[in-house]
Amino acid sequence: MISLIAAWMRAEYERQATRIASLGTRRRMLEVALLSGLGLFVELLLIRWLDVHVRPLAYVKNLPLIASFLGLGIGFALADRARSLFPFAALLLAATIGIGAWMGTTTWSGPLGPEVNLGVWPTEAKHELLAFYASVAGVFALVVLATVPLGQIAGAYMRGAPALPAYTANVLGSLSGILLVFALSALSLPPWVNAAVAFVLIAAYSSHRWLKSTGLVIGAVCCFGMIAIDQDADSTVWSPYNRIEVRKIPSIVTGQPEDDDLGWVLAVQGLYYQRLLNLAEPPSEAVRQAYPFYDAAYYAYNQPYEWMPKPRNVLVVGAGTGNDVAAALRHGAVHVDAVEIDARIQEFGTRLHPENPYGSSKVTQIVADARSFFLRNPDQKYDLIVFGLLDSHIGSFSSFSNNIRLDNYVYTLEAFEQAIDRLTPDGVISMSFYVSQPWVGTRIDAMLRAVYDGPVYVTPLYYDDGYLFLFGPGLAPIDAEEVSVGVPQEVVESWPAGPLATDDWPFLYLRERRISSTILWASGAVLLIGFAIVRLLFRGAVAFDRQLFFLGGGFLLVETRTIAQLGLLFGSTWQVSGITIAAILAMIVGANLIVARTGALPVRPLYAALVLCLLANFVVHPGSALGAGGLAASGMAAFFALPLFFAALIFASAVRGRPSLAPALASNLVGSVLGGLLENLSLVLGISGLSLVAIVLYAASYRRPA
């Protein structure tokens, strides 16, 4: 059986080679672009799907990205091997999606560590830890296997083509792929649409009619399964950030009309997120008995207004579906700016909230990142700024900017200072915060006291757990029995705050400046697998290329650092990430065109400029441009992207002298795996420290001119 499969794979390879040989250069470059776009499209599909369903990935956030690079790199290395893996592409992709969905139905326990991750229960039981690590390894292996055939067929079309033009086609195709992904995300289309596109393209490149039909059947079954998973809730939508589910809270029979519509529960990534409740009046005794959370919510949203002046102009960041907005309106707010990063969550509030706060003419709905909004219209002041229960759960942007969650830049010392600056002379800040670990609460308390001279009042948040922090110049002394100045001392002594979060180290949920053992074990395993692959594949026809390997590692490191820092400048939104990645790819195309026109450039000046730029990036903080206007922010963005341009010129000059692109990309993409792992050093060094790590990688890539 094995020999028959091998013979069939050889025959497929020969048919594929015959077809490629019949193509002209221009047509072949078009095929390279399409297949490169398909590879990136599938990579982002898997990242989006697995980040939502596989909870253990919260511990090793960019693992699907690293696995995709490794799989594509292996595929490029196998481009000249006389056995085609592409006939298995549809099956491997469907298996990865299906197993990922199955893992989403499992309750996971994981290792105790320094970082807070929702949806995974801490454990020390050996069998549970074994299952956890096996799941992480399994996901890694599946993504690698699913992307190998795509790299191999793209590499096959590159065979015999001039390396630099083929690389330009590769980058243009990748740019098209990511633009398509973000266009579908902008329309909030679910991942099954992306999967359908991928399966159709895979079928289009299959050599036999029966292979095309089989691939389409597999794809149809997979897509219907993905659709079925989304039917579990009353309504499920996919925003660019989250998989959002809403379920109606079951009514109770009391004979009272208000007890027939008790609101809705909203979940993201399969985890409870918030409720849409009618808190205009105290809940009835029957509702209290049936749903104790209702009484707690009524207290949590209304009680703070008894301790502060009646606000006129209110800002709510993390407005969600509108509970905080409704509370402000109930207590006399004349105008409310409601800021929410996810437009689809706000839409659910508009349609379903029992009090209809977003229907009020007093409310302005704003879809934006909370931190970036603080910098808009700095002359606009507020009597009350409300931080809602604003958290990103498991960080859906983890694979683009590694350890940066959507809310990380909202909870830093600099962000709190900017919020205080937006208060009127008698303004107040009300901050509700879900505390899954006690030290997170003491850290928030320490950060607020570090930036505000007056008293910071703290009371337990009896709804959704955690604390309510109240402070500001307009807040009179509070002598309520349940309120204290600061987190109680016994809590602080038992759970010290640790390092305070800043814009350069925005890791609020990381207890210490260190890399967890989970990440270290996973990184070690990935490095061993990568080393074994290099030993097996990068010899003979495919030689290991040290220069391109370390260029790949350095480039990915600087790219993700740049995405993270631009998130601070312009907001941690999906648009910023998409525009940044597209701009970087366009910059690579520009570098390729320069080298194609002028020939290979002298490497010493390029390396010198690259190192100087990285040193400057380390010294100059992006926060220095915050609040200075759009022109200053754009200039700072160009400044932080400049090293990538010099790196692209170096890479284009190196590729121009290579006989074939596929082996070069194999070394480059496997090097990106190293860069992806080294990104975790930001947890210790801060984001700017990654520039120094990149200098080491680029130094290792240097090769003296012949």
Residue with more model confidence, 221 or 479: 221
What is the C-alpha separation between 503 and 413, in angstroms, rounded?
8
C-alpha radius of gyration, the chain, whole number: 27
The pLDDT tens digits for 559-581 are 988 988 888 888 777 788 888 88
The whole-number pLDDT of residue 396 equals 41
Q: Report the alpha-carbon distance of residue 39 to residue 373 in Å, rounded.
A: 36
Task: Tell me the per-residue pLDDT of 15-28, one tens digit each, with 9 for 90 and over.
Answer: 887 788 888 888 88
pLDDT of 614: 96
What is the residue-averaged pLDDT of the chain? Answer: 87
Cβ density class 467-503: b for 16+ within 10 Å, e for less: bbbbbbebbeebeeeeebebbeeebbeebebbeebbb
- Of the pLDDT bands very low, low, confident and very high (cuts 50, 70, 90), residue 272 is confident
Q: What is the pLDDT of residue 128?
A: 81
Enter the pTM of the model. 0.90
Distance in angstroms between the alpha carbons of the first and the last residue of the chain: 50
Please compute the mean of the pLDDT values over residues 377-403 and round it to a whole number: 69
Amino acid of residue 596:
A
Task: Please indicate whether residue 10 or residue 339 has the higher confidence score (pLDDT).
Answer: 339
Go through the domains of the chain in sequence order and give each one's CATH number: 2-232+510-701 (1.20.1250), 286-391+413-494 (3.40.50.150)
Is the sign of the CA dihedral 541, 542, 545, 548 positive or negative? positive
Rounded CA-CA distance 476/472 in Å is 9
Residue 316's pLDDT is what? Answer: 96
User: What per-residue confidence (pLDDT) applies to 78?
Assistant: 85
Q: 636 phi and psi, to 5 degrees?
A: -65, -40
Averaged pLDDT, 320-328: 94
Integer Cα distance of 591 and 593 in angstroms: 5
CA quadruple 558, 560, 563, 564: dihedral sign: negative
Q: What is the pLDDT of residue 391?
A: 64
- Give per-residue burial for 223-234: e unless 16+ CB within 10 Å, then b: bebbeebbeebe
The phi and psi torsions of 122 (rounded to 5 degrees) equal: -65, 140
Position 104 scores a pLDDT of: 76
Q: What percent of the chain has pLDDT over 70?
A: 92
Q: Given this model, what pLDDT does residue 483 score? A: 86
498: which residues sit within 8 A by CB, 6+ positions away?
Answer: 439, 443, 511, 512
Q: How far apart are the C-alpha atoms of 409 and 414, rounded to whole Å?
A: 9
Average pLDDT rounded to a whole number, residues 62-74: 90
For position 580, what pLDDT does the model report? 87
Distance CA 177, CA 46 (A): 14
Q: Which residues contact 188 (CB under 8 A, 6 or more apart)?
A: 237, 238, 239, 240, 344
* Residue 272 host element (H or E): strand 271-276
Rounded Cα distance between 329 and 569, Å, is: 32
Answer whether 484's CB lies under 8 Å from 458's CB: yes
Query: What's the confidence (pLDDT) of residue 398?
Result: 41
**Residues 6 or more apart from 249 whose CB is under 8 A from it?**
262, 263, 264, 265, 275, 291
CA dist 54 and 52 (Å) reads 6
Does the pLDDT at position 59 exceed 80?
no
Distance CA 109, CA 128 (A): 6
Instruction: Determine the average pLDDT of the residues in 625-638.
Output: 78
pLDDT bin (cut points 50, 70, 90) of residue 541 is: low
With a cut of 50, say whether residue 609 has pLDDT above it. Answer: yes
Encode pLDDT of 683-705 as tens digits.
Answer: 999 999 999 999 999 999 998 77
3-state class (DSSP) for residue 97:
helix
